[in-house]
Amino acid sequence: MPIWVQLVYLLCAVAFILALKGLSGPKTARGGNLIGAAAAVVACAVPFLYLDLDHVGLILGAVVVGSAGGAYGARVVQMTQMPQMVALFNGVGGGAAALVALLELEHMVEEEVPVFFLVATAFTIVVGSVSFAGSVVTFAKLQELMSSRPVVFPGLPIAFGGSLLAAVVLSVLVVSDPTMLVGILLGLLGLAIGVLLVLPVGGADVPIVISLLNAFTGLTVAAGGYVLQNTVLLVAGTLVGAAGTFLTLLMAGAMGRSVANILFGALKGGSTLGAGEASDRPVKSAGPEDVAIMLAYAERVIIVPGYGLAVAQAQHTLRELVDVLIERGADVDYAIHPVAGRMPGHMNVLLAEAQVPYEQLIEMDEINGDFKDADVVLVVGANDVVNPAAKTTPGAPIYGMPILNADEAKQVVFMKRSMRPGFAGIENELLFEPNTTLLFGDAKDSMGKLLSSVKSL
C-alpha cells in the first residue's frame, strides 16, 4: 500500500473521530454528519486510484444501486420510522462484513496465514451474521411486520444455547482446518443465532437491542479491517463498536435493568411485553375547552412528549400551543425521558423537526425536581415513562426504571387515543388518580382543538 494511501486513510480515520465528536451536540451534528460522509466517500474512492481491480463494472454498478437506494430511503423515510432505517443500515453493515470475511477465507484456505487472522475471520463471519439476522427481526418488529411482543417457544433456551456451542465448535474448525464449507455453515448458524437472540425481545426493549447489534457490527468491521490490513476500517469499526456498547449500557441503565434481563427477561416474564388489553376502569375525562382553561391559568407547565405524539404528527401544533402559553406568561418546558421515542435522542429530533427550541428540551435528571411545582403536566403520547409502577410495583416489567415524576404535579392531563397501556403492557395507575384528567382522541385532532380553545380565551 503506497504511503500516500496510508496517509489518506489516516486522515479519513481522524475525520471519523471528528464526525463522532460533532454528533455529540445539536449545533454540530449536521457538520459532523457531513464530515463522516465525506470521509467515507474518499475512503471508498481511494482503492480505484491505486489498485488494479477486476470486475470494475460490477463494482460501480453495485455502488450506483446502493447509493440510489440509500438516497431514496433517506429522503422518503418518516422521522418516526428512523429507528427501522437504522436497524436496516446496521444489519447491512454486519452482513457485508460477514460476506467479505467469507471471501477472504477462500484465499486463506489456499495459503498459510497467521492464526489470529483466522480467529478474526471466524469472529467476523459469525458476529456479522448475528447482527444481520437480528437487525432484520428488529426492523420487522418496529415496522409491525410481526408482533412486537416477545416470541417465545418451548425449547428456545436449549436451541439458543446449542447454537452458541455449535458456533464455537465451527469457529475452532475454521481456525484449525479452514474450509469454505465450514465457513458457510458458520455464517448460516450466525443467522439462526441472530433470530433466536431477538425473538424474545419485545416492546420498548427493541431499541436497546438495535444499539447492541450496532456494536456487534462495529466489532465485525474492526475485525474485518484487521483481516484486510485496512486502517480506516479498523478505526471506524472500533468507533462504532465502542459507541454502540456505551449507548447500550446507558440505555439499559435508563431503564433500570441489565442487558441480560433485556435480552432474556421474557423467558421468565421480565421483558417489556408489548401492547396489552384496554382498561375498563372509570377515569376522569374532559373536553378541549376544559383543558384549555387549566392551561390558560397555569403559571408552570411541563410537557411530557412520547412516541405517540410523533406518530400522530402533532408536534407542530404542540409547539404552537407552547408558544401561545409562553406569550401569555407561562413557564413551559419539555421533559425528555432517555428512552422516549424509539431510539436515543429520537424525541429530541422529532421535536426539532417542529422547530422547538433546543433550550426548552430538559433531560429527566434536570427537570424531575420541578414537577412538584408544576401547575399542569401535559402528557402527550407517552405512558410508561410516567408510570409510578416503576417505583411502586416490584415484579412489574418496568420496575426499577427511572421515570419522570409527573405524579407529583398539581394537575396531570393525559392525551390518549384509548385506554390501552403502553409498550410495557401494564396499566398506569396515574391515569386513575383524582388529579389526573384524560383528553381522549387522536393527538393531532385533539391538539388542534386545544390550541383553538386556548387562543379563544
State the Cα–Cα distance between residues 339 and 348, nearest whole angstrom: 11
- Displacement of CA 50 from its chain's centroid (Å): 38
Chain length of the chain: 457
Catalytic pick from 205, 333, 370, 384? 384
Neighbours of 61 (CB within 10 A): 11
State the Cα–Cα distance between residues 287 and 291, nearest whole angstrom: 7
3-state SS class at 78: coil
Neighbours of 155 (CB within 10 A): 8
State the Cα–Cα distance between residues 111 and 273, nearest whole angstrom: 51
Looking at residue 359, what DSSP letter applies? G
SS (H, E, C) 6-53: HHHHHHHHHHHHHHHHHCCCCCCHHHHHHHHHHHHHHHHHHHHHHCCC
State the Cα–Cα distance between residues 184 and 190, nearest whole angstrom: 10
Residues 86, 73 contacting (CB under 8 angstroms): no
Residue where the block lists cell 422521522: 79
Question: Has 373 been annotated as catalytic?
Answer: no
Cell of 176: 484449525
Any bridge partners for residue 352, and if so which? none
The residues carrying an active-site annotation are: 384
